[in-house]
Structure 1
Amino acid sequence: MRARPAKAAAALLLAATVTMQGASASSPAAGACKGTIYLTFDTGSQSQAALIAETLGRHHIKATFFLANEKTVRGDWSLDPSWAAYWKARAAEGHAFGSHTFDHVYWKRDEAGGRIAVKPQFGVHAGKQQTWTAEQYCGELRRVDARFRELTGRGLDPIFRAPGGHTSPNVLAAANSCGYSHVGWAPAGFSGDETASEAFPNALLLKRALDKLKDGDIFMAHMGIWSRKDPWAPANLEPLISGLEQKGFCFATLREHPDYASHFKK
């Protein structure tokens, strides 16, 4: 009995793959777009970094990356000098970049006076709850910008994504005070790559995205997740893009998103 869900998932994936064979490797002409999807990628284990770059390049797609300094499968950190060539190449390709907090800092609760209880995942205070002022939270966002400038010669765009997408009035006020707008994702834009692959197989996640994504939606995935046994990107990124292209969708960075475009021009 336990084999049936796996067989069903495999059948769904095979059907989705067959359906998308022969899809064009480029997005529809701008005038033919039936809508726009905004692909975004948060740093993670970086196990899928090369695959993501290659796939986006082959489809001539510009995406938005949110960067934190996370431990990678190479044994280094995602904002180490060893990643400079990777980030320089993505910047040269025209992608957009936002802060994901340097130490992947989770919001825990708001406190009086605009202060924020947080817990960094990495760095010298990893796993230890702290209470920060708005200025300290801004400093954490700006640490990514400073490192990105060192690696690429250019700064971040004025956007950020809180780890886990968890924000609060104090977090948003702090970020706004130093010029950052928060970017979440659409309900249909949750890739599910952080979930258990046994409960949420790739075929199920792919079908859900292709069925429900609509014009203007922001899609979120990671550049590798340590905990997922069956990685999302190798199975799903190519068929997701091809399937959306077949439906007439185009892709753009958040610089073109109507909710954020004006902020980029400030």
Structure 2
Amino acid sequence: MTVPDVDRVSFVKEWEDWHRAKEEVLAGPHGFLAITSLHWLTPEPSVFEDAPGAWSAGPAGVLVELPEGEELTLDGQVIRGRRHDFGVIAERDSLYVGWGDAVLEVAKRGGNDILRPRHPGSRLRTEFTYTPAYEPDPRWVVAGRFLPFAESRPVTVGAAVEGLEHVYDSPGEVEFELAGARHRLTAFNGRAPGGLMVLFTDRTSGVTTYAANRSLQIGAPGPDGRVTIDFNRAGNLPCAYTDLATCPLPPAGNRLPVAIEAGERIPLERGGRP
């Protein structure tokens, strides 16, 4: 399977725009690089240095007990008073609560309620420069085919945090040819409507690219199931930069036996080279 020739100038410009936008989100005032800690909430109220109040979680959801004079904001509404119940948070959902110039992420990951404060002054954020990447090359754009399952299947994968697991619904597999061989990757639902996302490793993983995983968004399949797979847009997940992430690992079988020398490389923060 091949893709048509492309205008290299436009191709590179579009890749640069994509990479710049991704970096801006990552290193934004409250992006992932602004996270200062990862707190696992329990039924016993706990006090943390980088967040106000005492936080706890149980079957009824997440609760914070605020000291007098302290306030938070959520969806434009001010939260005051001794106790505030955030309720039950769905798996992989997050609430973003304002506190001064910081944002407190209240979320659920792998069945656990967590609190992740995000402070603009985080050293990881303020010292960030850029993420190394391979030069964009049209030869890493391949045509493929989406092979849907009769019904979505739950797939359990590991996580960047030892002992944690994530469960994602997989609508099917993506098949393509590369380096003279046919490959298949288990796909999950992507960010765009009808789109797909794959998590994978390859022979560059742990050498020039982050060892644990990279992710790739794929546009919605055409009526005949055809998809375009652009490995130039294989990107790092937050765990490539910080241990305060709970990123999923690729499903079993999503290790490609070829070196995908495209996309983002090991971050400088993890010892990557410019």
Give the shorter-chain TM-score range: under 0.3
Q: Flag the structure with larger Rg.
A: 2
Q: Which has the higher contact order (CA 8 A, sep 6+)?
A: 1
Q: Which has the higher strand share?
A: 2
